[in-house]
Amino acid sequence: MTDGARPATPQGFPPREAATHCPYCALQCGMLLREDADGVTVLPRQFPTNRGGLCQKGWTAAELLDHPERLTTPLLRDPASGELRPASWDAALERIVTGIRAVQAESGRDAVAVFGGGGLTNEKAYALGKFARVGLRTRHIDYNGRFCMSSAAAAGLRAFGIDRGLPFPLADLGRADTLLLVGANPAETMPPLVRWLTEQRRNGGRLIVVDPRATATARQADLHLQPLPGTDLAVANALLHIALTEGWTDRAYVAERTTGFAAVRRSVAAWWPARAEQLSGVPVADLEATARALGTAGRAIILTARGAEQHAKGVDTVTAYVNLALALGLPGRPGSGYGCLTGQGNGQGGREHGQKADQLPGYRRIDDPAAREHVAGVWGVPADELPGPGVPAYQVLDSLGTPGGPRALLVLGSNPVVSAPRAAHVERRLRGLDLLVVADLLLSETAALADVVLPTAQWAEEDGTMTNLEGRVLRRRALRPPPPGVRTDLAILADLAARLAVAEPAAVPTDAPGPAGTAAARFPTDPAAVFAELRRASAGGPADYAGISWSRIDAADGVFWPCPTEDGPDTPRLFTDRFATPDGRARFHPVDHRPAAEPVCDEYPLHFTTGRVLAQYQSGTQTRRVDALRRAAPDAFVELHPDLAARLGIGDGEPVRVTSRRGELRAPARLSPTIRPDTVFAPFHWPGPARANSVTNDAVDPISGMPEFKICAVRVEKA
């Protein structure tokens, strides 16, 4: 929807209502929005993931719709004053197109990069990937989901042949006899999920949590394993070692449904429990109790999340837990399995349809000739004109403005100034660009650096679909149109594509954005039309949406992919008969523990780790502007064990400085016995001096490109 006056809701007239979903995490809790003369209210709605419940973020989500800091006009940076000033849409879009053309004329197509977000709808993620490859013809596109689930995705692909966070419905958690959560804290990151944990324990199940901190989730567990950060892989190998020793593996399942087990058996033979205890600090008795609970359970589920995945060995760490699940015969067995708790609202769908550097819609590989032919046919371009694979998100950000790197960047739905590792370095890279364009609903820290800022519609102002952590495709319904002066991302991309397709000046090479007169038709602004095209583009791919229509979603509580035909079934549970590999068998992969990329030393003697708090979300651009959430969590903090604080002479609430080889953060100390004495924790929602990612390590996993957010070496002192 483009510019236009928002129709009023006069006093006495029936209120508008929309059954939709929360704009935050990947649970995508159902909610009802109601607008009357007094404003927009969030009401509960029965939906399978949340059953009427919402967290504080969900209940307050509508407060941002009419927030006084909402962007409602484009902003252009004044070259004389250096300030951002209001501008017309025509002036803003022309500035973008002129900048893109100049950069590409001088440095080639790949001199422009695109950075997307895991909160974009499926339609917008699809359109963004298409815009990069057809409108800009650049290979450089990736998104902030690379910082979220990429390690689990890569591990799932190499083991199962497919990546879907949960290959079973969320309700299965409540029926598990044993549930192992590794690096997950849903009590603070997705609170409505805790209902399933409560139900699981009420049914007699056993909950085991692996986390370096005694989080709100860990405190509810029957058993809490508290390893040194970065040693989860050693713990997993030890658990499999014990299961093998005690005879708890499912030999028939391994023989009939997997390959590669012999190599894994040999590799974990060296991971006797005492060795793992020495490395991780987890007592042998706790390792044995965990292995026994999993190995003797009728139904067992293993879940990993960011704590295990955000490491330079994240893929191998997740693979170790997948190996454990396969050896126990869990994946595909009713009520059992392995899964990953996706974080961002559309972290699953966002990577399925083209935002990721190496993928085309339907989770197809961009270097697969057949995939290129299929998608190019849908897009109406020759397959050989599609660019090849790009590079992962951090590599894109790190190369900005360098010789041979991108000189212009378009950002939709992300705030890397706060969320990227080694954030001060990334900020410097962004400041050095020839052109930085940010589309957002608020002036984020990244938008504040931009040359052009474009105001975009919010979640309650546009239709679309999201794919939650179960692989359930949902309908997001608009309550009302955007305010005057605000456009949707689809409208912005369509307008830019049309302007880029105008006859090119002689100075622009023929391989610059192409072919004239066709881009407008290729980029519809109606999300229903975009979804219809997405269905065709995904048909036959691993994430096949061909049989999913908006009407089918409306008639049910969402539709699970893959769903190839409209009259055929969807797939709530994967792997019941076969895995998505050529021979239908899952793949074991031997993996071994290796140290963190940056060990502690005399100068930096402590381990630093990051995470989230209940009342804030991601980079905090939205939640830090909601009064109730700001009151609940007003400021950043540095969590220290009292013994560590005593050694350093630091009192509760005193300002401290945390310093790494990359930078520092300053925030008040919060003393807590729930953290290890050798480890320091800080939440990553705040910018400025309290920015946790000024400290974090930019070492990346060689397979997934995931940065090592969860561990680096630091020193702590009074500020």
Instruction: Name the percent of the chain lying above pLDDT 90.
Output: 94
Beta-carbon count within 10 A of 592 CB: 14
Q: What's the pLDDT band for 8 if we cut at 50, 70, 90?
A: low
| DSSP letter string, 117-151 | -TTS-HHHHHHHHHIIIIII--S-EEEGGGGTTHH
Tokens for 197? 């944990």
pLDDT at residue 3 above 50? no
Q: What is the CATH architecture assignment of 75-147+346-560?
A: 3-Layer(aba) Sandwich (3.40)
**Angle at the Cα of 21 from the Cα atoms of 20 and 27, rounded to 5 degrees:** 155
Residue 504 has pLDDT above 80, yes or no: no
- Residue 501's pLDDT is 85
- Enumerate the H helices of 172-313 as residue ranges: 186-189, 194-202, 232-246, 251-257, 261-268, 273-280, 284-295, 306-309
* Mean pLDDT for all residues in the chain: 94
Distance, CA of 719 to CA of 713 (rounded, Å):
18
Q: What's the rounded Cα separation, in Å, for the pair 702 and 691? A: 26
Averaged pLDDT, 318-337: 97
CA separation for the pair 431, 68 (Å, rounded): 27
> Mean pLDDT over residues 504-508, rounded?
35
* 249-290 pLDDT tens trace: 999 999 999 999 999 999 999 999 999 999 999 999 999 999
| CA 711 – CA 327 distance, rounded (Å) | 29
Question: CA separation (Å) from 469 to 59, 145, 466, 473?
Answer: 20, 13, 10, 10
Q: Residue 11: pLDDT band by 50, 70, 90 thresholds?
A: low
What integer is the mean pLDDT of 469-474? 97
Sheet holding 559-560, edge to edge: 464-467, 472-476, 559-560
Q: What is the pLDDT of residue 14?
A: 73
Q: What is the pLDDT of residue 5?
A: 44
Instruction: Give 392's contacts (C-beta < 8 A, 6+ positions apart).
Output: 142, 146, 150, 357, 700, 704, 705
Chosen CATH of 16-64 out of 3.40.50.620, 2.20.25.90, 3.30.479.30, 2.40.37.10: 2.20.25.90
Whether the pTM exceeds 0.85: the reply is yes
Average pLDDT over residues 167-191: 97
Q: Was domain 606-718 assigned CATH 2.40.40.20?
A: yes
In the chain, where the domains are located: 16-64, 75-147+346-560, 150-343, 606-718
Share of the chain above pLDDT 70, in %: 95
pLDDT class for 518, splitting at 50, 70, 90?
Answer: very low
CB 365 within 8 A of CB 358: yes
Please state, in angstroms and as integers, the Cα–Cα distance from residue 578 to each residue in 80, 254, 256, 318, 431, following that order: 63, 13, 10, 21, 50
Place of tokens 């013994």: 643
pLDDT at 505 over 50: no
Residues 468-479 have a mean pLDDT of 97
What's the CA gap between 246 and 487, in Å, rounded? Answer: 61
pLDDT tens-digit profile of 632-660? 999 999 999 999 999 999 999 999 999 99
pLDDT at 84 over 70: yes
Model confidence at 592: pLDDT above 80: yes
User: Exposed, middle or buried, 52 (CB in 10 Å: 0-12/13-18/19+)?
Assistant: middle
- pLDDT, tens only, 434-455: 999 999 999 999 999 999 999 9
Secondary structure class of 31 (helix, strand, coil): strand
CB 596 within 8 A of CB 229: yes
pLDDT at 586 over 70: yes
pLDDT in tens, 665-694: 999 999 999 999 999 999 999 999 999 999
Cα 340 versus chain centre, distance:
12
Distance CA 126, CA 522 (A): 12
Tokens 């056993």 appear where? 206
Band of pLDDT at residue 9, cut at 50, 70 and 90: low
Confidence of residue 304 (pLDDT cuts 50, 70, 90): very high
What are the structure tokens assigned to 544, written together? 């096949």
The answer, yes or no, to whether residue 185 has pLDDT greater than 90, is: yes
Of 612, 611, 608, residue with least CA distance to 599: 608
DSSP state of 14: P
DSSP string, 626-688: SHHHHHHS-S--EEE-HHHHHHHT--TT-EEEEE-SS-EEEEEEEE-TTB-TTEEEEES---G
User: Closest by alpha carbon to 236, among 311, 148, 164?
Assistant: 311
CB-count burial class (<10 Å; 0-12, 13-18, 19+) for 686: buried
Q: Which helix (H) or strand (E) holds 320?
A: helix 314-327
Does the pLDDT at position 512 exceed 60?
Answer: no
Res. 517 pLDDT band, cuts 50 70 90: very low
CATH architecture of 150-343: 3-Layer(aba) Sandwich (3.40)
**pLDDT for 343:** 85
pLDDT > 90? residue 19:
yes
Between 6 and 404, the more confident residue is 404
Asked whether 589 and 31 are in contact (CB, 8 A), the reply is: no
Give per-residue pLDDT as tens, 34-43: 999 999 999 9
